[in-house]
Amino acid sequence: MSVLDIQSILLNIVIVTLLLFLSIYLYFKYSYTYWSRRGIPHIKPKFPLGNNDQISPEATSYNIETLEWYKEFKGRGLKCGGAWSWAKPVLLIIDPDYIKDVLLKDFNYFMDRDMFSNPIHDKKNESLFVVKKDEWRNMRQKLSPVFTSAKMKVIFHTIMECSKPMIEKIEELERKKADIHIKDIVASFNIDIIGRVALGLESNCFADENSKFRQMAKEFVKVDFGRSIRLLMSRICEKTAQRLGINNVPTIMTEFFSSVIENNIEARRKYNIHRIDFLDLMMEVMDSTKDDKNPFTYDNLIANIILFFIAGFDTSTTTVHLALYELSRNPELQEKTRTEIMKVLEKYDGEITIEGLKEMTYLKQVIDETLRLYTPVQTLSRITTQSYTFKDSNITLEKDTTVLIPTMALHRDSDYYPDPERFDPERFNTEKKITRNPYVYLPFGNGPRNCIGMRLGIMQSSIAIIQIIKNFRLSLSPLTDKVTLRHGVFLLQTNEEVYLRVERI
């Protein structure tokens, strides 16, 4: 090949690259006229991030960039406003009445969540969280019986058993006068629970630091270069990412759970074993619907076990470890929580019971306030299933428009929560609660598509806090000061690690 040929090839590559870049640029620029073409107030986007505050390769869905958008729209006295995530126009809702319409009243227009999935190439991750329209309705109806009060009673005992090794581990660390990385401890407890509750398996996170379940939990939050690129693609060009077979959940997790579930089902069928766990309940649903028009398939079962694993450990771990962080910083609130716990336990002969949990109203306030200040799911998302006009307005959304509800921003709005950065469980006493619009407090979402595992999340968080507070006096380690929220992640994470010191009571 001559020098001239090489030069011509290089020139062609440069021209094609420039043309490609120009077309992307023009596409983005045109998209940035979307809200003005509809006469909807908006904030100014910048190429190429739109209004995102950073590239966010770890965010599988929208996160806390919406805090700033909220302030801007609220400052302008708007009920909602347009913004862009990369080139995608999204509408941010500010007004609690509009939020109620989206989540509850006009739910049929907003049934779907804006969350990437790949139904063609990744059927084993088509879980309740991501499926759309009738498929979601069917699946939700089939999975709701998994979370009844009767099932919760059985799960309660499992959680109690899982709390024993947690307390033993903290005792061991106390004897060594160690600074305790509390998130690690609580994560192990929650993984042990979900391993038992979902699959009837002991994950033994406290005995075995290299437990496979623990590794899988780490895998979910680990975002290496390759996964960053894939996640970014899924957010910027969804259709191309789907065609390329990109998936949301790491393949190693899907493979691990598929094989565990397959072996488990085989053994249960062979020896006619029945357990009261999610797997057994889902096997029942699978068998009883196999001849239906919309059966609950084997892939559906795998997808939802993986989802329950992720949802069950991460959100509750965030809640418990940050509640303990706040109680360590605020010794008088810690003492108040402990006094209530001891009083109720005394009434029930020192035992933790489901009835007793209901009577621990201050503990519930502590959890509510933690979920306000450290909301695990920071922004809720919906997509319009058909064209929709907001009441008493000329704001009309086309079908397939993304609508965002900035939960964390609402939770930190001083109009609803004076001095919002302060941890104050009194915000959730009965008198204060009834005077507040319920749509400005949404840690579990709301409406028919709210969190299906809410009661389980609250129960496992309550038991963890009770067990730790009743056994140990907590204080912050000098290794920990103030925590700040990490940008660019879907499920809340802090920039700093929390270390505690404990003293046996």
Extract the annotated binding site for heme. Answer: 451
Q: Which of 189, 257, 308, 490 binds ligand HEM (CB under 6 A)?
A: 308
Residue type for position 477: S
Rounded to the nearest angstrom, the gap between the alpha carbon of residue 426 and the centroid of all alpha carbons in its chain is 25
Q: Which C-beta is closer to ligand HEM: that of 243 or that of 433?
A: 433
Helix (H/G/I), strand (E/B), else coil: 158 = helix
| Min dist. Cβ of residue 307 to ligand HEM (A) | 5
Which backbone phi and psi does 80 adopt, to 5 degrees?
A: -160, 165
Q: Which of 325, 444, 472, 499 binds ligand HEM (CB under 6 A)?
A: 444
**Interface map 98-137 toward ligand HEM (x if CB under 6 A):** ---------------x--------------xx--------
Query: What is the rounded CA–CA span in Å between residue 342 and residue 120?
Result: 53
Which residue minimizes CB distance to ligand HEM?
445
Q: Which of 102, 167, 201, 307 binds ligand HEM (CB under 6 A)?
A: 307
| Min dist. Cβ of residue 333 to ligand HEM (A) | 19
3-state secondary structure 46-90: ECCCECCCCCCCCCCCCCCCHHHHHHHHHHCCCCEEEEEECCEEE
Helix (H/G/I), strand (E/B), else coil: 287 = helix
Q: Which stretch binds ligand HEM (CB under 6 A): 90-98, 174-182, 200-208, 306-314?
A: 306-314
Q: Binding of ligand HEM at residue 449 (CB under 6 A)?
A: yes
Q: Binding of ligand HEM at residue 205 (CB under 6 A)?
A: no
| Min dist. Cβ of residue 29 to ligand HEM (A) | 32
| Min dist. Cβ of residue 91 to ligand HEM (A) | 16
Residues 6 or more apart in contact with residue 30 via CB below 8 angstroms: none
Q: Binding of ligand HEM at residue 452 (CB under 6 A)?
A: yes
Which backbone phi and psi does 218 adopt, to 5 degrees?
A: -70, -40
Rg of the Cα trace of the chain?
A: 24
Query: What is the rounded CA–CA span in Å between residue 462 and residue 466?
Result: 6
Q: Which of 377, 383, 408, 409 binds ligand HEM (CB under 6 A)?
A: 377
The residues with which 376 forms a beta bridge, in sequence order, are none
Q: Which C-beta is closer to ligand HEM: that of 235 or that of 449?
A: 449
Q: Which stretch binds ligand HEM (CB under 6 A): 341-349, 358-366, 453-461, 469-477?
A: 453-461
Q: Which of 65, 303, 443, 480 binds ligand HEM (CB under 6 A)?
A: 443
Query: What is the rounded CA–CA span in Å between residue 238 and residue 214?
Result: 30
Q: Binding of ligand HEM at residue 450 (CB under 6 A)?
A: yes
Q: Binding of ligand HEM at residue 216 (CB under 6 A)?
A: no
Q: Which C-beta is closer to ligand HEM: that of 193 or that of 476?
A: 193
3-state secondary structure 230-284: HHHHHHHCHHHHHHCCCCCCCHHHHHHHHHHHHHHHHHHHHCCCCCCCHHHHHHH
| Min dist. Cβ of residue 144 to ligand HEM (A) | 9
Q: Binding of ligand HEM at residue 491 (CB under 6 A)?
A: no
Q: Which of 45, 50, 57, 312 binds ligand HEM (CB under 6 A)?
A: 312
Interface positions, 320-359, toward ligand HEM (CB under 6 A): none
Q: Binding of ligand HEM at residue 453 (CB under 6 A)?
A: yes
Binding residue positions: 451
Q: Which stretch binds ligand HEM (CB under 6 A): 257-265, 315-323, 468-476, 493-501?
A: 315-323
At which residue do the structure tokens 């959730």 appear? 428
Please work out the total of residues on this chain that contact ligand HEM, with binding judged by CB under 6 A.
27
Q: Binding of ligand HEM at residue 411 (CB under 6 A)?
A: no
| Min dist. Cβ of residue 63 to ligand HEM (A) | 13
Q: Nearest 5°: CA angle at 176, between 170 and 182? A: 35
What b-and-e string marks burial along 336-345, b requiring 16 or more CB atoms within 10 Å of the CB?
A: bbbebbeebb
Query: What is the rounded CA–CA span in Å between residue 410 and residue 404?
Result: 12
Q: Which C-beta is closer to ligand HEM: that of 19 or that of 154?
A: 154
The residues with which 499 forms a beta bridge, in sequence order, are 181
Q: Which of 45, 82, 200, 376 binds ligand HEM (CB under 6 A)?
A: 376
Query: What is the rounded CA–CA span in Å between residue 363 and residue 341?
Result: 8
Q: Binding of ligand HEM at residue 319 (CB under 6 A)?
A: yes
Q: Which of 300, 315, 328, 379 binds ligand HEM (CB under 6 A)?
A: 315
Q: Which long-range contacts (CB under 8 A, 24 or more apart) does 75-82 make?
A: 76/41, 78/41, 79/390, 79/393, 80/40, 80/390, 80/395, 81/40, 81/41, 81/42, 81/43, 82/34, 82/35, 82/38, 82/40, 82/41, 82/42, 82/43
Q: Binding of ligand HEM at residue 390 (CB under 6 A)?
A: no
Query: What is the rounded CA–CA span in Å between residue 74 and residue 81?
Result: 9
Q: Binding of ligand HEM at residue 362 (CB under 6 A)?
A: no
Q: Which C-beta is closer to ligand HEM: that of 211 or that of 316?
A: 316
The site for ligand HEM (CB under 6 A) is made up of 113, 128-129, 140, 307-308, 311-312, 315-316, 319, 371, 376-377, 380, 443-446, 449-453, 456-457, 461
